[in-house]
DNA sequence: CCGACATCTGAACAGGTATTCAGATGTTAG
DNA sequence: CTAACATCTGAATACCTGTTCAGATGTCGG
């Protein structure tokens, strides 16, 4: 559909950085949990994803710094949510992909 | 649109692995080059992306092992192309994203 | 068969990064 | 103010991974 435009080095680096951010099991699990639930706070995220609260907090720090998630303070709790529709789309497309390609790698002669 | 389904740990790991695979500047540049050109061989990819042929070859090895790219032998050259529409979509969505979010991180109070 | 081309491979070094731990910060209830 | 809760932070360790280098493999033209 859309014409293929020449992509700049800067854009490539930015794209790689975004993918890299999503390419960690801890962060990925947090993002999918948020994609499902809409909004969760740290303790819940720790329980749901099976990580320590410190680990979750550190992961959220990175996601927050890149604007992928947003925190909303409610008393002592801080509710986090995905703050970017593009990321939602990436998560959905990838879920479809992994649903079809169950095995790690498919080989060909 | 689609109902949010509970995602399994296995799927999360697979999703993270895919994102991780895309989250390297060298590999990302190769993929965007292939997205633009359709099909390229190693030497060209090395020139276009500014990497050594060894580096490109090693990167393609990983991409090939995960079925993201496919190689087609034509004499001494091997033409590589993206072998997955989902990946094309991921690349396009991310390009849109990075086009809108030029700066690395956006802060909020 | 030979030489040049195109690509691949394995080992080693270097750089980046996620987790843990202990403790600091901020928040609420009484 | 104090105690308990919720989250964040920084430093240190350990792990993973990408690049380089030298050379191996496979392919073509004559």
Rounded to the nearest angstrom, the minimum Cα separation between A85 and chain B is 9
Q: Which pair of tokens denotes residue A72?
A: 């909303």
The C-alpha of A65 sits at a distance from chain B's nearest C-alpha, in angstroms, of 6
Question: Domains, chain B, ranges and CATH?
Answer: 10-96 (1.10.10.10)
B40 SS3 class:
strand
C1' of C4 to CA of A73 (Å): 67
Q: B74 Cβ partners below 8 Å, 6+ apart? A: B41
Here the tokens at position B17 are: 């692995």
Query: Per the structure block, which two tokens stand in for B24?
Result: 């390297």
**Of the partner residues A14, A84, A98, the one whose CB lies closest to the CB of residue B15:** A98
Query: What is the tens place of the pLDDT at every residue in A26-49?
Result: 999 999 999 999 999 999 999 999
Whether residues A20 and B23 touch (CB distance < 8 A) is answered with yes
B73 CB neighbours strand D below 7 A: yes
pLDDT digits (tens, 9 = 90+) for A62-101: 999 999 999 999 999 999 999 999 999 999 999 999 987 7
Q: Cβ A22–B28 below 8 Å, yes or no?
A: no
Asked if pLDDT for residue B107 goes beyond 80, the answer is: no
Better-predicted residue by pLDDT, A74 or A3: A74
What is residue B73's predicted lDDT score, i.e. its pLDDT?
95
Contact A23 B23 (CB under 8 A): yes
Whether B72 CB is under 7 Å from strand D? no
The pair of structure tokens assigned to A43 is: 């303790």
pLDDT at residue A11 tops 80: yes
């Amino acid at each position: 559909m859309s014409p293929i435009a020449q992509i700049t080095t800067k854009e490539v680096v930015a794209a790689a950085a975004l993918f890299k951010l999503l390419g960690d099991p801890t962060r990925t699990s947090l993002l999918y949990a948020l994609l499902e639930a809409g909004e969760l706070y740290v303790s819940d995220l720790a329980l749901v994803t099976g990580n320590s609260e410190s680990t979750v907090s550190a992961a959220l720090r990175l996601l927050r710094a890149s604007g992928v998630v947003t925190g909303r303070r409610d008393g002592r709790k801080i509710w986090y949510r995905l703050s970017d529709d593009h990321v939602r789309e990436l998560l959905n497309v990838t879920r479809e992909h992994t649903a079809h390609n169950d095995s790690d790698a498919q080989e060909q002669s």
